[in-house]
Amino acid sequence: MLSHRRCIRGDHIRVRNQRSCRSGYSEDVSFGRAAIGVALVCGVLATDCGGNGRERARVSASPLPHRGALSRANVLLVTIDTLRRDRVGAYGSERGLTPTVDSIAAAGVRFSHAYSHVPMTLPAHTSILTGLLPPHHHVRTNGTFRLDDRVPTLATLLKGAGYRTGAFIGAFVLDARFGLNRGFDDYDDRYPQQPAATSFTFVRRPAAEVTRSAEEWILSSRPGADARPWFAWLHFYDPHAPYDAPPEFRTGRSSYDAAVAYADAELGGFLGRLRRAGALDRTLIVLTSDHGESLGDHGESTHGLFAYESTLAIPLILTGPSISTAVVDAPVAHVDIVPTILDMTGIDAPAALDGRSLGAADAGRAIYFEALDANLTRGWAPLTGVVRRPWKYIDLPVPELYDLDRDPAEARNLAVTNRSTAEQLSAALSRFDVPESSGGERRDQPERRLGVDAENRLRALGYVSGSARSHRRTYTVRDDPKNLVALNERFNSAVGAFNDGRAQPALQALVAIVADRPDFLTARTSAATIMLTQGRARAAVELLNGAPATERDAPELLAKLGVALRESGDLAGAAHALETAIHGGDANPDLLNDLAVVYARLGRESDARELFQSMLMHAPNAAGTWYNLGLLELDHQHAAAAAEAFRRAVAADPGYGDAWVALGASLVKTDAPAAVDAWRRAERLRPRDYDLLFNLGMTLAAGERPGDAAPYLQRFVNEAPRDRYAVDLPRVRSTLARIR
């Protein structure tokens, strides 16, 4: 998020913007999705390890209890982002990373062949919470899709059955703005604002903060006060790159393993505290991951490009009252979680679900998967496939077929030597109503959905959101991700360089990638992002306009072009580009924010306000949006409305320094003590903000206790840059002499 500070003029209130006084709006930047991983080569294990040394029954069908056996039971869903199945002790790991997960497995049912449908966080979690495959819920990758408001979710169904519902989210990738918050009484996505475009990673918060919020929410209900059962979803993001675990977990471990161990330890502490409080006495626990991590397997450092077992195979464990201990060998998948929970709690499931209750696992089942991020963001061939144990088929220009029992590392492609099996699985794939991917003509991108409410609001502003690009193209071996993995890793390395503070080498690397592969859309927009952080808006516009003709109507490119045009001063062009991106179906919430900021600069106050309010309807904890709405109200002399918006911003993120500063500015004329309080809070967050010190000190000096201003004004005199504050320093010295 690029944060610009607002210029506030008054008798003694001055808030300067080092870059420009044209805008103080918080400007979110869409980043690339990949990051550098740890180059470890690890096979995916499927051996039995119960976690407590006991021999456990292996069965082909699930020993789950009958329908309604857990009626009115609490439901705890835990998703550990990017957790490789082979790092879990219950699945055979001897690294000792997951004692908590292992203990859960030892007390319940472990599914040895569980699969994600897509190795990306947002679409995988959408399948987990809807019971639908990606072609049916229409969320295909991170950042640019939003779940349609008409799709039922586990939260809406449980809430309709009388449950309290709460979600506790670890990273912006699952922000409420992407649509998974529906049905939750409390969707806690309160992570800190990113103050500047310092990295291409999603804003996150550690597992300890997730569990703290979830524990408080769960224990807030006591028998007699609110006897309803509860549904809580906890999302831990820690094993996702850049794997930032506390130091005590790092000794003797890779950074990825340390992050896994940290998430497991936090989960263990959380469950222990709930158990001691009696909050788990009648609770169904479902634990899974959204996908794994390649860590160098098949040349991929992270995830999203391929769909090999490293990223597609997931842990899936259930435990609770009446659930026996067993290992189920039948293949299962994310879409089975919703119907299973509904079946066990006795709640009717929607008829259109793609999943089935895990109590009816089928050993001969074909499970669909896809990895379309490279297609959507790079223009490479789309990857789809099916698993029908022991076979896995991947449909690409160079098709792949693996015998997972004999070749768990997927090193021997049998598509040519075993054509009959490949053809059978290709036919099974075609029954999932997805287009073939092995060449020929096809749609370049699947349909995108912005959401009914958002579409209606945009239509009220004079335009209608449509679908994504629908031109057709032919994919060849040149577009197969297997032949582009080295280029993908060059991109990851460039992203990592920027994340490490090496902007210029990162930019040079991205420009070189674009030269080698002009249709690598994300490399082009990422290079433009870096240019924007360097104040080179015109260069960013030129780079974006240089995209191949086949890519110029891509919503992601137009969204970035709109930001670049805005920063270059072409507000009309920016509005047109951003509106066209929305027409194209880009549902990234940052796009609406960017358009609202442009409308505000164009003087289209009501249009800007309506867009900000539309975003807040979907994401009431979006501190940056509240901040921008407050600035809009302040610009138009609506001080009370501005103050309320800034209060909402700091309530969502108490560490949001800009919002505390702006809150003080909105109150200073009507409630100076409250303004001082806001600025004192801001000063603790931003001790070297000399405009803030000036405002705070001068306001206190004019109040009933002028002596309180002395520490702030003295610091201003001692520390403020002499060149920038040459006019202010004499006045501050004079004020200091007076109040002393």
Kindly state the tokens that stand for 500: 């490490």
CATH code assigned at 143: 3.40.720.10
- Does 557 reside within a domain? no
pLDDT digits (tens, 9 = 90+) for 25-56: 654 333 222 222 222 222 222 233 334 334 46
Does 177 share its domain with 316? yes
Distance CA 318, CA 320 (A): 7
Does 14 share its domain with 132? no
Under 8 Å CB-to-CB from 211, ≥6 apart: which residues? 168, 234, 266, 267, 269, 270
Distance CA 655, CA 209 (A): 14
What per-residue confidence (pLDDT) applies to 13?
A: 39
Lowest model confidence (mean pLDDT) among 205-219, 456-470, 574-588, 683-697: 456-470
Residues comprising the chain, all counted: 740
- Does 276 reside within a domain? yes
* Domain, as residue range, for 264: 74-357
What per-residue confidence (pLDDT) applies to 26?
A: 55
What per-residue confidence (pLDDT) applies to 474?
A: 85
Distance CA 160, CA 163 (A): 7
Does 115 share its domain with 22? no
What is the residue whose two structure tokens read 């918006």? 645
Q: Give the count of beta carbons closer than 10 Å to the beta carbon of residue 363.
A: 13
Domain total of the chain? 2
Under 8 Å CB-to-CB from 659, ≥6 apart: which residues? 623, 626, 627, 630, 646, 649, 650, 653
Task: Kindly indicate the confidence band of residue 392, based on its pLDDT and cuts at 50, 70 and 90.
Answer: very high
Which of 333, 357, 381 corresponds to the end of one domain?
Answer: 357
Distance CA 274, CA 632 (A): 44
Report yes or no on whether pTM surpasses 0.95. no
What per-residue confidence (pLDDT) applies to 34?
A: 28
- Does 525 reside within a domain? no
Is 345's pLDDT higher than 60? Answer: yes
CATH code assigned at 26: 1.25.40.10
Does 81 share its domain with 17? no
The residue that leads in pLDDT, 41 or 716, is: 716
Contact by Cβ (8 Å): 630, 654: no
Distance CA 356, CA 694 (A): 63
Under 8 Å CB-to-CB from 634, ≥6 apart: which residues? 6, 8, 642, 662, 665, 666
Residue type, 161: A
Sign of CA dihedral 249, 200, 213, 289: negative
Task: Kindly indicate the confidence band of residue 425, based on its pLDDT and cuts at 50, 70 and 90.
Answer: very high
What per-residue confidence (pLDDT) applies to 29?
A: 30
Task: Kindly indicate the confidence band of residue 364, based on its pLDDT and cuts at 50, 70 and 90.
Answer: confident
What per-residue confidence (pLDDT) applies to 20?
A: 31
pLDDT digits (tens, 9 = 90+) for 667-676: 999 999 999 9
Kindly state the tokens that stand for 205: 């918060």
Lowest model confidence (mean pLDDT) among 196-200, 484-488, 555-559: 196-200
Under 8 Å CB-to-CB from 3, ≥6 apart: which residues? 26, 27, 193, 195, 196, 658
Sign of CA dihedral 13, 17, 23, 27: negative
What per-residue confidence (pLDDT) applies to 224?
A: 53
- Does 651 reside within a domain? yes
Kindly state the tokens that stand for 541: 């516009």
Which of 327, 357, 387 corresponds to the end of one domain?
Answer: 357
**Which candidate, 320, 190, 212, places its Cα nearest to that of 273?**
212
Q: Three-state SS for 582?
A: helix
Q: Which helix (H) or strand (E) holds 631?
A: helix 623-635
Tell me the percentage of the chain whose pLDDT exceeds 90: 73
- Does 471 reside within a domain? no
In 282-418, which ranges are continuous DSSP H helix? Answer: 309-312, 337-345, 373-378
What is the residue whose two structure tokens read 């060998």? 329
What per-residue confidence (pLDDT) applies to 63?
A: 76
**Which candidate, 328, 387, 364, places its Cα nearest to that of 60?**
328
Residues β-bridged to residue 367: 387
**Max mean pLDDT range (24-33, 230-239, 725-734):** 230-239
Lowest model confidence (mean pLDDT) among 193-197, 642-646, 676-680, 728-732: 193-197
In 277-403, which ranges are continuous DSSP H helix? Answer: 309-312, 337-345, 373-378
Tell me the percentage of the chain whose pLDDT exceeds 70: 84
Task: Kindly indicate the confidence band of residue 361, based on its pLDDT and cuts at 50, 70 and 90.
Answer: confident
Is 458's pLDDT higher than 90? Answer: no
Task: Kindly indicate the confidence band of residue 59, based on its pLDDT and cuts at 50, 70 and 90.
Answer: low
Does 156 share its domain with 263? yes
Task: Kindly indicate the confidence band of residue 470, based on its pLDDT and cuts at 50, 70 and 90.
Answer: very low
Is 195's pLDDT higher than 50? Answer: yes
Q: Three-state SS for 383?
A: strand
Under 8 Å CB-to-CB from 224, ≥6 apart: which residues? none
What per-residue confidence (pLDDT) applies to 618?
A: 85
Residue type, 140: R
What per-residue confidence (pLDDT) applies to 301?
A: 94
Does 15 share its domain with 139? no
Does 218 share its domain with 293? yes
**Average pLDDT, whole number, for the chain?**
86
Does 287 share its domain with 201? yes
Kindly state the tokens that stand for 84: 């490789």
Under 8 Å CB-to-CB from 32, ≥6 apart: which residues? 200, 377, 491, 495, 522, 523, 525, 526
Does 144 share its domain with 234? yes
Contact by Cβ (8 Å): 126, 337: no
- Does 301 reside within a domain? yes
pLDDT digits (tens, 9 = 90+) for 285-317: 999 999 999 999 999 999 999 999 999 999 999
- Does 50 reside within a domain? no
**Which candidate, 517, 523, 555, 450, places its Cα nearest to that of 200?**
523
Task: Kindly indicate the confidence band of residue 203, based on its pLDDT and cuts at 50, 70 and 90.
Answer: confident
Q: Three-state SS for 154?
A: helix
**Which candidate, 514, 521, 531, 516, places its Cα nearest to that of 556?**
521
Under 8 Å CB-to-CB from 661, ≥6 apart: which residues? 5, 15, 678, 679, 682, 686, 689, 692
In 324-451, which ranges are continuous DSSP H helix? Answer: 337-345, 373-378, 419-430
- Does 159 reside within a domain? yes
DSSP characters for 98-112? -HHHHHHHHTSEEET
Task: Kindly indicate the confidence band of residue 459, based on its pLDDT and cuts at 50, 70 and 90.
Answer: very low
The residue that leads in pLDDT, 455 or 724, is: 724
Kind of pairing between the strands at 114-115 and 313-314? antiparallel
Average of per-residue pLDDT across 694-719: 93
Is 225's pLDDT higher than 70? Answer: no
Contact by Cβ (8 Å): 32, 522: yes
In 288-334, which ranges are continuous DSSP H helix? Answer: 309-312
**Which candidate, 257, 208, 253, places its Cα nearest to that of 84?**
257
Contact by Cβ (8 Å): 676, 699: yes
Which of 357, 387, 403 corresponds to the end of one domain?
Answer: 357
**Max mean pLDDT range (290-299, 351-360, 491-500, 719-728):** 290-299
Does 20 share its domain with 82? no
Does 214 share its domain with 325? yes
CA separation (Å) from 515 to 35, 146, 270, 496, 530?
21, 32, 50, 20, 17
CA separation (Å) from 3 to 23, 54, 153, 409, 604?
9, 55, 35, 45, 21
Q: End-to-end distance of the chain based on CA atoms, in angstroms?
A: 42
Does 223 share its domain with 347? yes
